[in-house]
Structures are given as C-alpha cells and as structure tokens.
Structure 1
C-alpha cells in the first residue's frame, strides 16, 4: 500500500536541468573549449561534490572540483538569473491536488540546497502541499546515496516500501532504488538517463496518479 509520494525537484517540479547545464557548459569551455554538453550530464541530479567532480573530469585542467565550483559561483549567479515560474511544470498543482484527495502524503527530496527549494516552492505557490522538505545538502552524501530517501521516509514515519519516489536522473533513480522505494521515472530524451532500476517509466507526470491507484490495489 502506497501512503506517500516523494518528489524530486529539478527535472520534475521545474524543468531546470538544461538551463543550469547551459551555464555550466559556457563556464567549462572557458577552461577547455572541447567540452561537450554530454560531458556534463553527470552533473544532473547529483550532489555538489559529485556534480563538480564531473566538471573537473570534463575540463581536465588540474583544478579541483572545489576550485572550479568556487570560481563558477564567484563569476556566475545562476539562481539570480533563473525564472522559476517560467520553467515550472504547470501540471504540478493539479497532480498534487489529486494525490492529496486520494489521501496521499507528499514530500520533496532534492539535491538542491534548502534556500533554493523554498524559493521554487514559494514562487510557484506549492509550498503548502509538502509535509516534509529535505535537501541533499543536509547529508555527507546525497543521491545516488539512499540516505536522503531513508531520512525522508523516517520523517514521514513510514517504511520505504510504502513510498513512491518520482525521479528522472540516473542518480535519483538509483538513490530511490537503493532505499527500497517504488519508483516512477519521468523519461527525458535529452540526457540519456539510465532509468532501468525504476518500476515505471512515464512520459507525463499525470501518470503518477494512475500508478498510485495501481499500487494501492496490489
């Protein structure tokens, strides 16, 4: 019996991943003009260290991931440039309404830092839907480590197998799988994510509602 749905944010609530990657690619090419967008796909859905380690491998110029991240943050204010209303998935409020009407508890578990999570949810008027909001920045290791999902389930006082995670990235799907959760993975042809560990692959987020119905009947 599914009792909670736990949403990722980037790529699910907001279509942000390509927007971030474009800015990161522009920065990477100042270090190494040969870097391709595909070289940075490992940054999507991962923790700060994992993401910028991917950048370090891509530019391969001797700088550490910390040095690259600090330089990027000093020169590019990514979050100030983002219009989170523009990239918000408009179908989300209706989906959250329907899940609540079905008696589901809702949570969010994102690798993004809490200030940005709160900004996204507040600017799009969906903060009130989520009983628990968890950031990967709270842990030594975020996705694909399962700790963020174990912690979120514990906060909900539910066993992991009563939770459905809605994810997209390889790291996110892997984290939910390792935590023992059911997984609905939103397909995205742009990034070639490995979603083979997911129970369901969906093309539209609205499919989550029907998946919950199906799981509640099992």
Structure 2
C-alpha cells in the first residue's frame, strides 16, 4: 500500500518552464551562444548548476564561473517570476494534493529547482502545509537521471521505498525513478514537450485520473 507520494515540481505542480526559458535565453543572448531547441530540451530535469556545467563543456568560450552563471540566471528568473501574473498551479494538481493530504498519505517534494525557487512557488500557492519534506536538486552533485535525489527523498518517507511512488513529467525524471527502483507515474504534461515517459509504470494525461484511493492501491 502506498504511504508516500514524491512529487516533482516543474511541469507537475506548476509550470514555471516559460519563466525559466525566458531567463535562460536572455542569458544565452548575453553570453552570445546559440542553444538549439534539442539541446535545451535535453536539460529538462537538470539543476541549474548541471545545466551550466554542461553548457561550459559545449561552449568553451564561456569564461564565467558556474556560480556566477547561476546567480545571473536566478536574478533574471526572480525578476520575471515576481512580475508574472499568469502563473497557476497545473489543472487538478491542487485537488490531488489536498485529497492525498486529507487521506493521510505523506507528501514529499523532490525537485531539480533551487531552494529559493521552490520556496517562491510554495509560498505563492500556500503549499508548505501539505508537504513533510522539500528536497532540492541543488544539494546533489548530479541531476536526474541520477537517482540520488529520489533515493534520499524515499529515505525521508514514513515507509520503505516499496510503499512510495514518484510523479514525474520528464525523461530524466522517469529515468531517475526507474534507477531508484521506485514506482513512477509519468504525467504527460502539455507543458513538457518532447519527453519520453515510456518506462514509467503508469502514464496519465490528467490529474483527474488519480485520487488518494487509487494511489494507495498502486504497486509494482
């Protein structure tokens, strides 16, 4: 029986991707580099640090330190986030979160986003009250598809990882869940383009397909 649900954030709870995209491409322009759509899509599920580490290997002309690149991107993102009015929770996810919480199922967030970004989202939408733990990808040297973030999140569960599930929307996130050996629900989000969810244990197109009772009965 499922006791814990581990949520990804971007593309699952909220779609901050347009804000991230705006921030990244403004910075790419400042750095005078041309990042293709294919390359940008491959960064889905990466932390900001891993994204810039990868970019520096592709573009040796980037002389800035990774930490400086992170801070600049974060500054652009924060300015855009604070002024963006059309930022909403994804359809159906708030009802699912409340249903799980009221049913006594533990909720943990495992997101590649920075702690600052997570806190901004959770504060804006009053989500802190539902989650017992928040895990940020910035605390891990490798991003998804490395399973470390999910293995650590599962270690915070009230139950063994066999009683946990992960909800993910990205290729790298599903791969990380697979590598962690945790049941994965792939959310086919309209906001996450060109993602391969085929190795997820269950694929949904809408959060109305899930509720606490259905989730509690999921198993490998």
Task: Please classify the TM superposition score into its range, dividing by the shorter chain length.
Answer: 0.7 to 0.9
Q: Aligned partners of 2:145, 2:18: CA distance in 1, in Å?
A: 20
Write out aligned runs for 1:29-44 (5 A).
29-32=29-32, 34-44=34-44
Does the 8 Å CA contact 2:8/2:167 hold for their aligned counterparts?
Answer: yes
Bigger mean CA offset, 189-198 vs 85-94 = 85-94
Structure with greater contact order relative to length (CA < 8 Å, sep ≥ 6): 2
Structure 2, unaligned runs of 5 or more: none
Secondary structure of the structure 2 residue equivalent to 1:11 = coil
Secondary structure of the structure 1 residue equivalent to 2:97 = helix
Write out aligned runs for 1:29-108 (5 A).
29-32=29-32, 34-56=34-56, 60-63=59-62, 67=65, 70-71=68-69, 73-74=71-72, 76-82=75-81, 83=84, 86-108=87-109
Q: Structure 1 residues 121, 171: CA separation in 2 closer, same or farther (over 3 Å shift)?
A: same
Q: Aligned partners of 1:174, 1:194: CA distance in 2, in Å?
A: 9
Q: In the alignment, which residue of structure 1 is the partner of 2:12?
A: 12
Q: Structure 1 residues 122, 74: CA separation in 2 closer, same or farther (over 3 Å shift)?
A: closer
Secondary structure of the structure 2 residue equivalent to 1:215 = coil
Matched residue count: 215
Secondary structure of the structure 2 residue equivalent to 1:137 = helix
Over aligned residue pairs, what C-alpha RMSD do you find? 2.7
Return the TM-score normalized by structure 1: 0.84
Q: Structure 1 residues 161, 85: CA separation in 2 closer, same or farther (over 3 Å shift)?
A: farther
Q: Aligned partners of 2:209, 2:57: CA distance in 1, in Å?
A: 37
Deviations 1:6-31 (A, max 9, x none): 10011111111233123312432454
Secondary structure of the structure 1 residue equivalent to 2:156 = helix
Query: Is 2:208 aligned against 1:206?
Result: yes
